[in-house]
A = this chain, B = another copy of it.
Amino acid sequence: MSYFDAASSLPLHPVARQALLASVDEGWADPARPHREGRRARMLLDAARETAAEAVGCRPDELRFTSSGTQALHTGIRGVLAARRRAGRRLVVSAVEHSAVLHTAEAHERSGGLVREVGVDRTGRVEAQEWKQALGEDCALACLQSANHEVGTVQPVAEAAEACAEAGVPLLVDAAQSLPWGPVEGPWSLLTGSAHKWGGPAGVGLLAVRKGVRFAPPGPVDERERGAAPGFENIPAVVAAAAALRAVRAEADAEAARLRALVDRIRARVPELVPDTEVVGDPVRRLPHLVTFSCLYVDGEALLHALDTAGYSVSSGSSCTSSTLTPSHVLRAMGVLSEGNVRVSLPPGTAESEVDRFLEALPGAVEGVRAHLGIGARAEPADRGAAEAEVTVDARGKLCPLPVIELAKVIEDVPAGGVVRVLADDEAARLDIPAWCEMTGHAFEGVEGVEYRVRRTAPRRGA
């Protein structure tokens, strides 16, 4: 039984658990009340704010507690856009930000604002030069994550912050994934975090707003956390969150080095153990504990279930036959395969043996899913005499990974130089058919409407 979904949420850190229990009896009163119980609650809140501010690298009066990381992002972005309305209406975001950022950007667009999405390379990293160019005269705010939550790639935040400072544009850094590992470098203006990503309780977010940044909290007036969080603070949870952040930071360097080595092992071994697999994300400039890979001819959700049954809890950015998984905008922006996607994020304390057992279990799990989809034992290409030079596969109405599977099944029915036309209306095919070509060495010749053209240029890799 191994939980490898740390990037989604962590169990309470023992220090957080202790702090929660201790403050449940002391921190239940309204900290805005002048009576004894209120003052005691206020003291706990103030102390937690100091602890958290120290870890973030800001002044306590620059730090607001919110009811979640998502709420911190919503409030941070909307607060700056409102306050800097006269400076401009353009919001710059990377294409691989958390959905909370992109949804806020959509809302901004719906209300007449402009959004400029900056693309990423195949590792998921924003190109610093392109970032710089996106910051124009009419730019009210830019948002860049410190590290990507799906593939672990670390962004050039310090450079981006310098560029923003030069352009006079405030930068909001979504530090949800990196905050447990260390403070964010560079002259950022706003920063957000989420406690359950570092072993604090859910329901606690952080929003740091540097002095001098124009900021007008959105929504109805509320005095709590200077408008950043409607309703009164869940102080025991805030105390536990701050204590956990301090505790994980004390262990961060040693634990990062240890987990980095385990992730390196996964990155190296998975392609060896599982055929037709691509490890994605930057191999070096990455979070220490997170690795993502995609497996051809695999339904991501089925693979999650197979791994779950085998005792491993992981995550997936695939949008496959089942509707419970949403397609990953991150993988799409990177232009990498989305089918059979698995994100492994190791919690602090993960044992080496757990990782080794996972690596032993993975090939069987993938094979099982592929077999179920009729891919496991791929037949040698039938000797059909004169192969047709062009074959059409109608995969309309079929969802990921079926169009790619259909394509793989017929590619060897055409001679080298021949063409397979795939008709596919599943959105994921736009990403997965080109990615499949990239991985297998066949030539992707483009898509028109729902028709994808793939030219067989080489024998199947490994065949």
Q: Could you tell me which A residues sit within 8 Å of B by CB distance? A: 1, 3, 5, 8-12, 17, 20-21, 24-25, 28-30, 33-38, 67-71, 74, 78, 100, 103-104, 106-107, 194, 196, 201-205, 219-222, 224, 229-237, 301, 304-305, 308, 313-315, 324-325
**Using Cβ atoms and an 8 Å threshold, which residues of chain B touch A20?**
24
Selected from B78, B221, B235, B237, the residue in CB contact (under 8 A) with A107 is B221
> Cβ of A29 and Cβ of B9 under 8 Å apart?
yes
> Cβ of B35 and Cβ of A313 under 8 Å apart?
yes
Selected from B9, B12, B74, B305, the residue in CB contact (under 8 A) with A230 is B74
- Given contacts A29-B9, A107-B221, A230-B100, whether A35 and B314 have CB atoms under 8 Å apart is yes
- Given contacts A20-B24, A28-B12, A103-B220, whether A71 and B33 have CB atoms under 8 Å apart is no
What is the distance, in angstroms, from A263's C-beta to the closest C-beta of chain B? Answer: 19
Please give 15 more A-B residue pairs, beta carbons under 8 A apart, in addition to A37-B313, A71-B230: A3-B29, A9-B28, A12-B24, A20-B24, A21-B21, A34-B304, A35-B314, A67-B231, A70-B224, A74-B230, A100-B222, A103-B221, A103-B222, A201-B236, A202-B234
> Cβ of B234 and Cβ of A201 under 8 Å apart?
yes
Query: In the assembly, what is the distance between CA of A313 and CA of B33, in Å?
Result: 9
Selected from B35, B232, B235, B237, the residue in CB contact (under 8 A) with A5 is B35
**Using Cβ atoms and an 8 Å threshold, which residues of chain B touch A232?**
9, 68, 70, 196, 202
**Using Cβ atoms and an 8 Å threshold, which residues of chain B touch A106?**
220-221
**Using Cβ atoms and an 8 Å threshold, which residues of chain B touch A308?**
34-36
Query: In the assembly, what is the distance between CA of A163 and CA of B24, in Å?
Result: 43
> Cβ of A233 and Cβ of B67 under 8 Å apart?
no
What is the distance, in angstroms, from A32's C-beta to the closest C-beta of chain B? Answer: 9
**Using Cβ atoms and an 8 Å threshold, which residues of chain B touch A35?**
3, 5, 304, 308, 313-315
